Amino acid sequence: MNPELIELRDSARQVLGESGLGASEHQTWPLVLDLGWLLVAVPEDLGGLGQGLAGACAFYTEFGRRVAGAPYVPAMLAIDAICAAGRADREDWLQRLTTRDYVTTPLADGELTLTSSRPGKPRLSGTAVAVPSADKASHVLVASSDGDCVALVPLRQGGVELRERPTWDRSRRLFDLRFTGLELERDMVLASGSAAQALCRRLATHRDFALAAGAVGGAEALLDLTVDYLKTRRQFGRPLALFQALKHRCADLKAQVAAAEALLQDALQRAGEALDGAAAGAAGREARLLACSAYAHVAEEALQLHGGIGMTAEHHCHLFLKRALLDQHLGRGGNRYDLDLADALLAGA
Amino acid sequence: MDQIPIPTMTTGGNPEALRAEVRAWLQQNVPQGWRAALTGTGQDAFVDAQRDWFQRLVKAGYATPHWSQEWPGGGRSLAEQKVIFEYVARAAAPRLILFFVALYHAACTVMEWGSEEQKRQHLPGILEGRVWCQGFSEPNAGSDLAAVRTRAERRGDRYVINGQKTWSTLAQFADRCLLLVRTDSSGAPQAGLTYLLLDMRSKGVSVRPIEQITGDDEFAEIFFDDVEVPVSDRVGEEGQGWAVAQSTLASERGLTLVELTQRMRYSLARIAGIMRERGVVDDPALRRDLGRLIPKVHAACALADRYLLKRIEGTEVAGDASIVKLNYARTLREFTLLGQRIAGLQGQYQEPFIRGGGMETGNWPFDFMNSYNWSIAGGSDEIQRNIIAERMLGMPREPKNWTLA
């Protein structure tokens, strides 16, 4: 991490720290806009901070650490798409998205089809799933399932049906968006054909890294809190942290979290700038698979190590657990991260 | 040794230039078919092959990149040393097992603690192929090294040694031994240790190879029966042995795990090949297992790389090394377990193993059993977990004065 990014990250850590664990979207989204956090990965020539995906990931980690409610990842994905698509009016869009309007992006793969029958406008049908805070968004960024089209779709119009889908994780408010032959304005199509395919690959990789970075932050924070609890809680006349059976479990968790974090940084390096490339895609898949598995495992163990207090709603344990459980089902569909990695290795061997 | 050429000095401190040079050299020099040649052989063939490989590396200057500038091949930065280890791993070249203690443990200990006379006496011999072994572990001092009991009694200008060492790598071929002995039992256990450079031909030294569960015998027991060692063969002061031993153990600075994790990474391709050979390439359960292993292997590499970087920058903290080793040991175990699942019943039929073939030879039951070397030796997984818990996570140590209830 460069010094500028470390400074940015530290200030984000401090500000998010002051809002407390599990702070709501209502509390944290104004911070995102006021402090310019959406500009982190925007290239400098477009008025951003030019910190790239590594910069974005540093922030995702901080949001994960605090289980913060702001829909930061979907907004960052939409902004990335607009920067990458190279439209003539992208600076206007960036101005809107980084200061005022919220554009959301699905965190999982839905089923969407776009039919463009000339000379008519393209029509969108199907369902986008796991779309965070869609009720607050002016637009949603969608890609057709075949990857041939990426478009921004205005949400405040007929032909779009929003359905809130509460999950156990209260740090994210997810929606299904149903489209029934919705006509798209041509100028809302960001990319089509091979350009859209490349953009889709880029966004899927970015999303994998975002999930990985958030999971690393959550896992690190939850392990710290768990170890602190074991040091404080006394039973049998001694702190629980003195029992070797518990120390070794914590050490294993620490080793797993350290591995996920090291892989995340290594994968970011391997991914480089060409986020639509196969190398970046594989790096992102690896980071996502290991980090989300590690987070889920830390969360599973943390609840047990906390004992009864962890089962109470007022304690913070469950905030992490529920986020970790949901994380494992976000990203690319079909529970295929492991299979995809094996496929790539077997194809190359 | 004056006539040993120093071809590598031309590239100076430039890891990029070194890459091309090392790659080209390896293409020319890695013995063709060495794995097959060492499959099902005795130790003698292995020792001959190691001597040959050692001489090639010494000639090229690649055996001693960590030695100081005045030595052939020496004066290389840690980043350059990493390049050499990485490319040796990538080329699936033999590991320099027989000479590792000499090149790293013995050389670094003598360089740091030895007298000028000791340096003159021992360092050139290492480059000429003198084999060293390590005499630290004992039957009752494994992970708990301070419990060493082999006694050294001072008589005039000699120490007289009695006791036993064990788990000494290839001691049956060693010329010299890095020997940790107890000269004082009165104070703290660490305070009474002394460090000697023992001539293995001394009267009263006997070596017995340990027949391991794998059929290999790469470790040995060493017995001392009134063995006399001149006081001039002591390194450091009497009672300073613990500190000297810490230098010995720190001498490889994480490079071994850089090499081993890289070897594991390149062995993933071997696992893919074996899946194809066995006709199980479409087995979805095996594919999932393989897919879950891949990021763990890459993470083990990333951790080892990062640790080395911390050593270069001087930002290492207590417990960092434990994280690297624990992750490697656990991932290697998983790797060998997957290998066995892929090989199936066929893999259980006994086949001859490769001597010095690395940790992922493709003889999976052998590799699985061999993987315990990494979860037990050099501080067992349990010791690493204690270090991580106590020194990184700040969890309290167990009280020293416990009694059975």
- The ipTM of this complex is 0.96
Q: CB within 8 A of A45, min separation 6: which ones?
A: none
pLDDT at A349: 53
Q: Is A178 helix (H, G, I), strand (E, B) or coil?
A: strand
Hey, which residues of B are catalytic here? 252
Between CA A305 and CA A227 the distance in angstroms is 9
Between CA A32 and CA A71 the distance in angstroms is 9
Query: Is residue B105 assigned to a domain?
Result: no
pLDDT at B226: 98
pLDDT at A120: 72
Mean pLDDT of B176-193: 95
Between CA B222 and CA B176 the distance in angstroms is 12
**Residue B289 maps to which CATH number?**
1.20.140.10
Query: pLDDT tier at A117 (50, 70, 90 boundaries)?
Result: low
Partner residue opposite B298 with nearest CB, options A244, A286, A338: A286
Query: Is residue B117 assigned to a domain?
Result: no
Are B79 and B143 in the same domain? no
CATH superfamily, domain A195-348, is: Butyryl-CoA Dehydrogenase, subunit A, domain 3 (1.20.140.10)
Spell out the domain ranges in chain A: 3-102, 104-192, 195-348
Is residue A130 a contact partner of residue A71, using CB atoms and an 8 Å limit? no
Among B66, B95, B124, residue at a domain's last position = B95
Using a CB-CB cut-off of 8 Å, the residues of chain A touching B291 are: 289, 337-343
Are B80 and B178 in the same domain? no
Are B261 and B240 in the same domain? no
Using a CB-CB cut-off of 8 Å, the residues of chain A touching B389 are: 247-248, 250-251, 254
Partner residue opposite B272 with nearest CB, options A252, A259, A349: A349
Inter-axis angle of helices B255-277 and B320-348, nearest 10: 20
**A101 burial type by CB count under 10 A (0-12 exposed, 13-18 middle, 19+ buried):** middle
Say which DSSP state A333 is in: S
A128 to A106, A113, A114, A179, A202: CA distances (angstroms)? 7, 10, 13, 8, 18
Between CA A67 and CA B45 the distance in angstroms is 60
What are B334's strand-pairing partners?
none
Among B95, B113, B145, residue at a domain's last position = B95
User: Total domain count for chain B?
Assistant: 3
Mean pLDDT of B343-349: 94
Query: pLDDT tier at B11 (50, 70, 90 boundaries)?
Result: very low
Mean pLDDT of B88-116: 95
Between CA B351 and CA A45 the distance in angstroms is 63
CA-derived radius of gyration, chain A: 21
Are B146 and B192 in the same domain? yes
Are B232 and B300 in the same domain? no
Is residue B235 a contact partner of residue B218, using CB atoms and an 8 Å limit? no
Read off the pLDDT of residues A60-105 as tens digits, 9 standing for 90 and up: 999 999 999 999 999 999 999 999 998 889 999 999 999 999 999 9
Are B195 and B289 in the same domain? no
Query: Is residue B402 assigned to a domain?
Result: no
Using a CB-CB cut-off of 8 Å, the residues of chain A touching B384 are: 251
Name the percent of chain B lying above pLDDT 90: 87
Residue B187 has pLDDT above 50, yes or no: yes
Fold of A104-192: Butyryl-CoA Dehydrogenase, subunit A; domain 2 (2.40.110)
pLDDT at B17: 87
Partner residue opposite A251 with nearest CB, options B291, B298, B385: B385
Domain A3-102: give its CATH architecture.
Orthogonal Bundle (1.10)
Between CA A29 and CA A33 the distance in angstroms is 7
Are B329 and B356 in the same domain? yes
Query: Is residue B115 assigned to a domain?
Result: no
Between CA A170 and CA A321 the distance in angstroms is 11
Between CA A321 and CA B341 the distance in angstroms is 32
Between CA A42 and CA A56 the distance in angstroms is 9
Are B283 and B377 in the same domain? yes
Query: Is residue B400 assigned to a domain?
Result: no
Query: pLDDT tier at B94 (50, 70, 90 boundaries)?
Result: very high
CA-derived radius of gyration, chain B: 22
Is residue B161 a contact partner of residue B152, using CB atoms and an 8 Å limit? yes
Interface touch A342/B288, C-beta < 8 Å? yes
Interface touch A265/B302, C-beta < 8 Å? yes
Exposure class string for B155-183: b at 16+ Cβ within 10 A, else e: eeebbbbbbbbbbbbbbbbbbbbbbbbbb
Between CA B338 and CA B268 the distance in angstroms is 11
Between CA A55 and CA A47 the distance in angstroms is 15
Among B220, B245, B270, residue at a domain's last position = B245
pLDDT at B6: 38
pLDDT at A105: 98
Give residue B240's domain range: 132-245
CB proximity under 8 Å: B 287-306 to A? 287-292, 294-296, 298-303, 305-306
Query: Is residue B205 assigned to a domain?
Result: yes
